[in-house]
Amino acid sequence: MSLIVIGRSGQLARALARLAPEARFLGREDADLADPAAAVAALVPHLAGAGAVINAAAFTAVDRAEAEEALAHTVNAESPGAMARVAAAAGVPFVHVSTDYVFDGTGDAPWRPGDAPAPLNAYGRTKLAGEQAVRAAGGVHAVLRTSWVFSGRGADFVGAMLRLGAGRPRLRVVADQIGGPTPAADLAHACLTVARALARDPALSGVYHYAGAPDISRAGFARAILAAAGMGTQVEDIPTTAYPTPAQRPLNSCLDCSSTTAAFGLARPDWRAGLRDALAQKGAA
C-alpha cells in the first residue's frame, strides 16, 4: 500500500521511515503546517493512488504553546483538518496522532476514547481541536491518542533524563503524574497497522488509544531510564506543585487501550523493552 507521511524529522516520522522507507514523507520544507493552504497544496498531488495518509507532524512544545497558542492551533488543528478534508475527497484514509493531554487528568481510572475531553493547557486544546477537525472532514479516519512518546533522541523525556543525570548525583522528578510511556517505534508500527486496516475496512473509523505498559509515574520512569543506562544518579520524588511549568500537566494520563486491541489486534507495548532498544540504538549512533 502506498503511504504518505506528514513529517520527516520528528521522532515518530523517523520511526516510520525505518519501518516503511518506501512511504512518501512530506517534511516541513514540503508541507509547512503553519500554512494550511500550503500544506494542502503539497499533499494533493500525492493523493492519487495513495493507500493512506499518516499525520506524524505537530506542534509539540507544550510549554511554548502557552505563549504561541495561535500558531499551535494552526499546526495542530487547522492544517490537519484541511489535509483530512482533501484526503476525504480523494477517498484516502487519514490517520491522525493525538494525545492524552486532551483530558484533565482527574481520577484514577484509565481514560477511555469516549470519555469527555477537558484539556488543561493550550497544547491539549489545540490537539483536541485537531481531532474534531479530522472527524468533521467526513472521511475514513482514525484518531490515535498516545502518551509520553520516547525514542531516546532529541528533547524527549528519556533524552532529558540522560542529559541531566550525566552531571548530577540526584534529580528531582514529579511522582504524581502517572501514564504509559510509549516507544516511538511501537507507535509507528501501530500507525501503520491502523492505516492498513482502515484501507481494508473503513467501518473501523473512530478514536482510539495506544500507550505503553505498565503505567508508571514520571519519577519511576526516570529511575528505570537511569538504571538501564547504568547511571548512578538518584531520583527524588516530588509533587507536581514543586515543579511549576507554564503549562499545567494532567496527573492521570493512563489510557484504556482495549478498543484498539479489539479492533486492530494491537496490544499495549512494553515500554521497558522499548527503552532497552532505544538506549541500544542511541549507543550505536
Four-point Cα dihedral 108, 122, 148, 146, nearest 10 = 80
Helices (H) and strands (E) in the chain, counts: 10, 12
Q: How far apart are CA 259 and CA 285, in angstroms?
A: 36
Contact between 95 and 145 under an 8 Å Cβ cutoff? The reply is no
Nearest 5°: the CA angle 116, 157, 162 is: 165
Contact in structure between 36 and 78 (CB atoms under 8 Å):
yes
> Out of 123, 208, 210, 243, which one is annotated catalytic?
123
- The DSSP call for residue 102 is G
210, 257 contact by CB (below 8 A) = yes
Active site residue 123: yes
Catalytic residue set: 123
